Amino acid sequence: MALLLKNARVIDPACKLDAVCDILIRHGEIVEVGKGLSIEKGITRDLTGKIVVPGLVDMHVHLREPGQEQKEDIASGSRAAAHGGFSAVCCMPNTKPIIDNAAQVRFVTERADEVGKCRVYVAGACTQGLKSETLSEMGDMVAHGAVAFTDDGCGIHTAGMMRLVMDYASMFDKAVMSHCQDESLVGAGQVNEGVVSTRLGMLGWPAAGEEIQIARDIAISRLTGCPLHIQHISTLRGLDLVRAAKAEGLPVTCEVTPHHLILTEDDIGDDYNTYLKVNPPLRTAEDVAGLIQGVVDGSIDCIASDHAPHAAWEKDCEFEVAWFGMTGLETMLSLILTKFVDTNIIDYARMVEMMAINPRKVLRLEQVKIEAGNIADLTVIDPEATWTVTKEDFYSKAVNSAFLGAELKGRANDVYVGGFATMEEGVIVE
């Protein structure tokens, strides 16, 4: 079965490619990239005006299955991923039960094979039950496909436990991905500590509660040699710690979410919009400016959505009762294109680095280059498409996006996974 993608602008910084050309795919593999290609049998698609990049990876999503299917499941979450332009996602282990053993890894992987619309990679838990008490069976999980480890949703409570986790994980060459949150400082914090916590009369989630664990985990990475990936970094000083670690040559990387790049604590008004309740919380305008700088200068490695779907009734309630998190799979690419690429803060190549190349590096996945011999995981972007974010447009079960109503420019048009279209012309291929 041959597929020929013609006349798109193909961008892949991994092979220094940015040109209008054609891509020929056979049996799920790229066989030729060049100008004026043609085939006798198969499908030819004219992608004039479109942009083709390596299949994007959202390395931080919550698919909620098993256990919290009222929020999302693998079928709906992977459709949301495809709809947002992703050929692969990495899902977090804080399901019910927790993905802290090989059986759970297998369940998610096999379920994704059955009902999924993108590649689903599984991050296993560092500690059993995310309790920071006992190591989980990382070796067995690796044997069954886990690509990284994290206790995402909470920080690992003590330095001693984190040392055990990273020491042990270092034998598998997998990254330990750290959700940095010092419980003793953060407690029941709801919003960034400072102006917004005072204004709204809620407990603060101080920046220091994140920065302390970033500093701690960098020190333990130095001690153990284990690769460390800081998840959803949200503060300027936290990023400076990562910069220093990189300068030192430590195996430290980090990711940022679109909402931490675009929204600030000032966006939380006295209507207590629970869609703006995220963990870590929205920070100050200075933090946002600092993070954008990190996106530009390369000190931030990845952009990930932290797609955190919730049922309507879990968000339509008191702010302090509402769950943390917002969805992101279906808005992330468009937000980055609208806010950063279209405004020339970054170019497409940098976007591809942060949303395709670097996530694969951190997750130890095989790279997808747009050259002969690579898997045909591709994302086709329509850079001129303008659209408004609406609930009705989502494939996700959840609608808790802070960007409802936003006017965006540029979005995914098609996604190919192993040469098969999972989305074509904006519609999921069933």
Q: Which residues are catalytic?
A: 306
Task: Spell out the alpha helix ranges (H) of 251-399.
Answer: 258-262, 285-297, 312-315, 332-336, 348-352, 358-362
Distance between CA 146 and CA 104 in Å, rounded? 10
SS3 (DSSP) at 336: helix
182 is a contact residue toward other proteins (CB under 8 A): no
Min separation Cβ 284 and other proteins, Å: 11
Q: Which residues contact 293 (CB under 8 A, 6 or more apart)?
A: none
420 is a contact residue toward other proteins (CB under 8 A): no
Task: Spell out the alpha helix ranges (H) of 272-406.
Answer: 285-297, 312-315, 332-336, 348-352, 358-362
Which residue lies nearer to other proteins by CB, 272 or 420? 272
Min separation Cβ 203 and other proteins, Å: 8
**Strand order in 119-124's β-sheet?**
56-61, 86-91, 119-124, 148-150, 175-178, 228-230, 252-256, 302-303
Tell me which residue of 257, 388, 369 sits closest to 13, measured CA to CA: 369
Residues 200, 208, 219, 385: which binds other proteins (CB under 8 A)? 200
Given the structure tokens 């130095």, which residue do they identify?
A: 222
Residues 69, 319, 364, 404: which binds other proteins (CB under 8 A)? 319
Residues 197, 231, 234, 235: which binds other proteins (CB under 8 A)? 197
SS3 (DSSP) at 165: helix
Residues 286, 316, 384, 425: which binds other proteins (CB under 8 A)? 316
Residues 15, 39, 203, 208: which binds other proteins (CB under 8 A)? 203
Sheet strands (E) in 183-257: 191-192, 204-205, 228-230, 252-256
267 is a contact residue toward other proteins (CB under 8 A): no
188 is a contact residue toward other proteins (CB under 8 A): no
Residues 320-339, interacting with other proteins (CB under 8 A): 320-321
265 is a contact residue toward other proteins (CB under 8 A): no
Min separation Cβ 323 and other proteins, Å: 13
Residue range at the interface with other proteins (CB under 8 A); choices 128-136, 139-147, 200-208, 281-289: 200-208
Min separation Cβ 68 and other proteins, Å: 17
Min separation Cβ 200 and other proteins, Å: 6
270 is a contact residue toward other proteins (CB under 8 A): yes
Amino acid at 335: L
Residues 313, 343, 366, 430: which binds other proteins (CB under 8 A)? 313
Which residue lies nearer to other proteins by CB, 270 or 366? 270
Residue range at the interface with other proteins (CB under 8 A); choices 52-60, 203-211, 284-292, 348-356: 203-211
Which residue lies nearer to other proteins by CB, 35 or 391? 391
Residue range at the interface with other proteins (CB under 8 A); choices 49-57, 174-182, 198-206, 384-392: 198-206
Asked if residue 280 has a cis previous peptide bond (ω within 30° of 0), the answer is: yes
Residues 28, 66, 194, 383: which binds other proteins (CB under 8 A)? 194
195 is a contact residue toward other proteins (CB under 8 A): yes
Distance between CA 204 and CA 280 in Å, rounded? 11
Interface with other proteins: number of residues (CB under 8 A): 22
404 is a contact residue toward other proteins (CB under 8 A): no
- Other Cβ atoms less than 10 A from the Cβ of 316: the count is 12
Distance between CA 221 and CA 251 in Å, rounded? 7
Tell me which residue of 99, 103, 153 sits closest to 123, measured CA to CA: 99
Per DSSP, what are the bridge partners of residue 120?
89
271 is a contact residue toward other proteins (CB under 8 A): yes
Residue 274 contacts residue 322 (beta carbons within 8 Å) = yes
Residue 202 contacts residue 193 (beta carbons within 8 Å) = no
Residues 43, 171, 223, 317: which binds other proteins (CB under 8 A)? 317
Distance between CA 156 and CA 217 in Å, rounded? 10
Residue range at the interface with other proteins (CB under 8 A); choices 51-59, 70-78, 159-167, 195-203: 195-203
As given in the structure block, the two tokens for residue 33 are: 């990239």
Min separation Cβ 32 and other proteins, Å: 58
Residues 36, 40, 249, 318: which binds other proteins (CB under 8 A)? 318
Binding site for other proteins (CB under 8 A): 193-195, 197-204, 206, 270-272, 313, 316-321
